[in-house]
Amino acid sequence: MNLAAILGTGAALPEKIITNADMEKLVDTTDEWITTRTGIKERRQAAPGETTSVLSIQAARRALEMAGLTPKDLDLIICSTISPDMPLPATAAFIQNGLGARPCCAFDLAAACSGFLFGSTVAEQFIRTGAIKYALVVGAELLSRYIDYNDRATCVIFGDGVAAGILGPAEPPSGILASEMHTDGQFADHLYIPAGGTAKPASCETVRAREHYIKMRGNELFKVAVRSLEDVSRRVLEKAGVCPHQIDLFIPHQANQRITDAVRERLGVPQEKVYSNISRVGNTSSASIPICLDECVRSGRIKKGDLVLMAAFGAGVTWGAILMRW
């Protein structure tokens, strides 16, 4: 069976920057409060005309260019998002058509912040078995559309952004060495949007109650996130027979700098081997890890042969990890 590798990456961030100073004008908060508790200094906000698929197409084109491929080469498109263009059809369909890709399997995947890793793991299975050759996996979120700017616990955290990866067959030792995906629904009400689905269809009442916005129990999630991220990271390392000190770079989901620091310390990974951009982009959910990955690849932080560990935790709750040799 083939190994699957990420052959190209691309990202697309909205131009508008919302700083902590801007947040101070919108809600009862301060730069010091936000920075101390999250590590965030600024985040991006999509313009009214920008949609999830529009930014996804931009990111996908950059990833295809890096991989030396065209949209016609794609056999599979997975869009991981909890902020789609619309409930029906899948945003992946708009991406496929916008790219000019041939008709192929294209679908959305909803795993929140773990989405890019879930999507990459799904694509990996197709590639390893030889069912397909090339897949586009997009992590795309316009969370500003779901933020309640009266709720300081959530509005200061989330930002908009999209990034993509092109996966294809690779010759060992390069490729994905181990991966895991998990979900535990008992914590589903710790991070969710109450209305807009079949449980609570949109109505005047749900709009008045502000139930179409993200609700989060941050303190409860913190402990679960740290424990889950440490556990799944160790599990994929053990699967591949790799010790934490052997990895060259650790890219965790950019949820909260304190979570990143706690997981790093538990794993015993040195600070210089951990990548963080949360201060500049905030929490972009499923786009978080691929944005970091794209920055690392393009800056030369990731080099051929490097062992890269990626781990994420999100609503559901979901968590997962991928270990790959670049």
Catalytic hit among 104, 256, 283, 296: 283
Active-site residue flag, 253 = yes
Question: Residue written as tokens 């991406």?
Answer: 95
Q: Any idea where the domains of the chain sit in the sequence?
A: 3-172, 177-325
Residue range 3-172 in CATH 3.40.47.10? yes
Domain 177-325 classification at class level: alpha beta
Active-site residue flag, 245 = no
Residues of the chain where predicted confidence (pLDDT) is lower than 70: 1
Radius of gyration of the chain (CA): 19
Catalytic hit among 20, 79, 104, 113: 113
pLDDT value, residue 2: 77
Which pLDDT tens digit goes with each residue over 156-175? Answer: 999 999 999 999 999 889 99
pTM above 0.95, yes or no: yes
Q: Do 3-172 and 177-325 fold alike per CATH?
A: yes
By C-alpha distance, which of 288, 235, 287, 293 is closest to 259? 288
Q: Is the dihedral of CA 69, 92, 124, 254 positive or negative?
A: positive
pLDDT value, residue 244: 95
Catalytic hit among 20, 79, 253, 292: 253
Active-site residue flag, 97 = no
pLDDT value, residue 1: 67
Extract the tokens encoding 176. 């994905």
